[in-house]
């Protein structure tokens, strides 16, 4: 599948299609069952040309399983959901149950992850606010066996992605936000939720795909995801996840738009990537 948008903004990495499927593409990257991994690595793999996939046993981490749409996996968090609420906020070192749960992770989790479990990632101010954050998430149940990441160019005729994700720098981010609003008139064509990197390309984008007026979801505001993906794609990129109906709308609006005018061309000339 070709993209007029990708041609017009000259993306340094390939747009990535996220699809639901019952079969895994041959030679697709996939985490081993029970092994930790960041979902954003799967996105990076597809952006560089190799398909990737995850199922209900190979989503890499509990947060990744949630973000990709395999239900509310936080119920599986070591020590229970309250330990997760403390992990994302103030940590588990101030109560006996949390300390005991941490002790059980020493031999199976990475040292840094155990330290974060104990001390907290501090992304939310309190455990109570974390509980509200979790309650507000648009949990999803993927109806097929796999969530598949493919270079958009490899999407076959008859396949319909759920979402198309662009990894872009600030200039190209600006272009996608303008194009998402180009034919709307309400200035609400894109938004940035506080969310994990995988949630921004997964469950938040899936929710938008099922709305009457789907919006672009801007992501990679998660410092952990940015750190995990930096070696694969660099440090200056954000994700823009487009529900497929919005992607088609934006594709149709490239001709005649600002993407054919001198202002955009001058930005490209100064920033060819």
| Contact of 175 with 9, CB cutoff 8 Å | yes
134: left (phi over 0), alpha (psi -120 to 50) or beta: alpha
235 Cβ contact partners less than 8 Å away, ≥ 6 residues apart = 226
- Tell me the DSSP string of 147-199: EEEEEGGGPPTT---SEEEEEE-HHHHHHHHHHHHTTTSSS-SEE--S--HHH
Looking at residue 91, what is its pLDDT? 98
How many residues would you count in the chain?
273
Q: What is the pLDDT of residues 66-102, one digit of tens each?
A: 999 999 999 999 999 999 999 999 999 999 999 999 9
Portion of the chain with pLDDT greater than 70, in percent: 100
Strand partners, 168: 238
Angle at 55 between CA 50 and CA 61, to 5 degrees: 90
Closest CA to 114 of 92, 81, 96: 92
Confidence band of 111 (pLDDT split at 50, 70, 90): very high
Does pLDDT of 39 surpass 90?
yes
Beta bridge partners of 146: 21
Predicted TM-score (pTM) of the model is 0.96
Q: Quick one: pLDDT at residue 272?
A: 83
The pLDDT value recorded for residue 120 is 97
Q: What is the pLDDT of residues 212-261, one digit of tens each?
A: 999 999 999 999 999 999 999 999 999 999 999 999 999 999 999 999 99
The number of angstroms, rounded, from the C-alpha of 1 to the middle of its chain's C-alpha atoms is: 21
Dihedral over Cα of 197, 43, 9, 152: its sign: negative
pLDDT grade for 192, boundaries at 50, 70 and 90: very high
Confidence of residue 271 (pLDDT cuts 50, 70, 90): confident
Q: Mean pLDDT, to the nearest integer, of 154-183?
A: 97
Over 90: is that where the pLDDT of 13 sits?
yes
Q: What local confidence, expressed as pLDDT, does residue 273 receive?
A: 76
Q: What is the mean pLDDT of the chain?
A: 96
């Amino acid at each position: 599948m070709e993209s007029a948008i990708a041609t017009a903004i000259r993306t340094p990495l390939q747009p990535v299609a996220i699809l639901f499927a019952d079969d895994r593409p041959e030679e697709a990257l996939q985490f081993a069952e029970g092994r930790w991994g960041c979902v954003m690595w799967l996105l990076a793999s597809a952006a560089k040309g190799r398909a990737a996939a995850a199922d209900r046993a190979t989503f890499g981490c509990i947060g990744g399983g949630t973000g990709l749409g395999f239900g509310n996996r936080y119920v599986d968090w070591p020590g229970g959901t309250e330990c997760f609420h403390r992990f994302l906020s103030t940590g588990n070192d101030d109560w006996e149950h949390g300390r005991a749960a941490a002790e059980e992770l020493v031999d199976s989790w990475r040292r840094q992850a155990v330290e974060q479990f104990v001390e907290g990632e501090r992304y939310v101010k309190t455990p109570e606010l974390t509980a509200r954050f979790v309650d507000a998430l648009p949990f999803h149940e993927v109806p097929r066996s796999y969530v598949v990441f493919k270079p958009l160019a490899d999407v076959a005729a008859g396949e319909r992605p759920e979402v198309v994700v662009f990894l872009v720098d600030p200039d190209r981010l600006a272009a996608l936000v303008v194009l998402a609003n180009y034919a709307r008139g309400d200035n609400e064509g894109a938004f940035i939720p506080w969310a994990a990197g995988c949630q921004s390309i997964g469950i938040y984008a899936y929710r938008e795909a099922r709305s009457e007026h789907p919006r672009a979801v801007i992501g990679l505001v998660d410092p952990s995801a940015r750190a995990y993906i930096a070696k694969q794609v660099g440090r200056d990129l954000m994700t823009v996840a487009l529900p497929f109906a919005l992607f088609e709308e934006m594709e149709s609006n490239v001709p005649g738009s600002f993407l054919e005018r001198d202002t955009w061309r001058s930005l490209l000339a100064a920033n060819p990537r």
